[in-house]
Amino acid sequence: MSESPVLDNHLHLDPVNGDGADWAEEFANAGGTHLLVLNKPSWSLVDSVDGVEAFRETFELTCEVTEKASERLPGRAWPVLGVHPALISKLNGQGYTPEEAGELMKEGLTVAAEFVADGPALAIKSGRPHYDVPEAIWDVSNDVMCHAFELAAETGCAVQLHTEGGDDFEEVASWAEERGLAREQVVKHFSDGPVQGPIPSIVAFEENLERIVETGNPFLMETDFLDDPERPGAVLGPKTVPKRVEWMREQGYDEAITRAHVETPARVYGIDTVETLER
């Protein structure tokens, strides 16, 4: 059992196609204590995405597997629920206009916010495509993301963002602030170093961690593990964050470990990874 909390901020557990909660045991055996479990894209868990019930089913499946994962941890796991930004392209390919797709995605985010307000979920996931899209889809995607900010401000929770790469998201952070959500409650998932605007969630490669540690800024750590039998270990395996924390200790990065696994989770999500850790 770890002496201090070790949180993976962004990991997927697939109860339909993958091994689901079994991965939490591997994470714990490697020294991990806490997980934020993101729902897989709805189209990979349910038959079709054509209404809010598809999102609700996706979120219920994710909450169930997260609860099972939590039972296997010395700490606990929380669900983070939302709508994958690539859904707009899938819907557009099925005949939806960008605007129609956007409205459906907003409805899904509203359901996700209900799960947060009612207690099972911790935060919302949103964003915009990480690939080139027509201007109409880009504009609607930004509108959907801003809707997530509005919901998060109303609900009192953070938003994890799936976006294109880069390090300048100052404009995005300002959009959140305009809608009443503090920029420190906006998390840039899949960051490879410091980010302007949101809090970066660093993909746990050693070189990425070295870049963020030297800044002294708040950050989180993640694997973006996919639990996809066709892509085993992608993006990083569930043991990676505990192993990188061990490496960080060897490098003398103790203060940064506390920052990533205690201070920043409390600051962003309002969770106490120390008090929720059984000793």
Name the band, by pLDDT with cuts 50, 70 and 90, for residue 279.
low
| 18-47 mean pLDDT | 97
Could you tell me if 18 and 230 are in contact, meaning their C-beta atoms sit under 8 angstroms apart? Answer: no
The whole-number pLDDT of residue 221 equals 99
274 belongs to a structural domain: no
Claim: this prediction has a pTM higher than 0.95: yes
* pLDDT, tens digit, 9 for 90 and up, residues 238-253: 999 999 999 999 999 9
The whole-number pLDDT of residue 3 equals 73
* pLDDT, tens digit, 9 for 90 and up, residues 208-229: 999 999 999 999 999 999 999 9
Mean pLDDT of the chain: 97
CA angle 122, 32, 198 (to 5 degrees): 45
Could you tell me if 128 and 85 are in contact, meaning their C-beta atoms sit under 8 angstroms apart? Answer: yes
**Domain hosting residue 134, numbered range:** 7-269
233 belongs to a structural domain: yes
173 belongs to a structural domain: yes
276 belongs to a structural domain: no
Residue 26 belongs to domain with CATH number = 3.20.20.140
Percent of the residues in the chain that have a pLDDT greater than 90, as a whole number: 97
| 115-136 mean pLDDT | 97
The pair of structure tokens assigned to 213 is 């540690």
Cα separation, 38 vs 194, in Å, equals 22
278 belongs to a structural domain: no
- DSSP string for residues in 156-215: T--EEEE--S-SB-HHHHHHHHHTT--GGGEEEEEESS--BSSEEEEE--HHHHHHHHTT
* pLDDT, tens digit, 9 for 90 and up, residues 77-95: 999 999 999 999 999 999 9
Tell whether the model's pLDDT for residue 202 goes beyond 50. yes
159 belongs to a structural domain: yes
117 belongs to a structural domain: yes
Partnered with residue 12 across adjacent β-strands are 38
Burial of 179 (0-12, 13-18, 19+ CB in 10 A): middle
Query: Domains in the chain: how many in total?
Result: 1
| 109-113 mean pLDDT | 98
1 belongs to a structural domain: no
What's the one-letter identity of residue 206? E
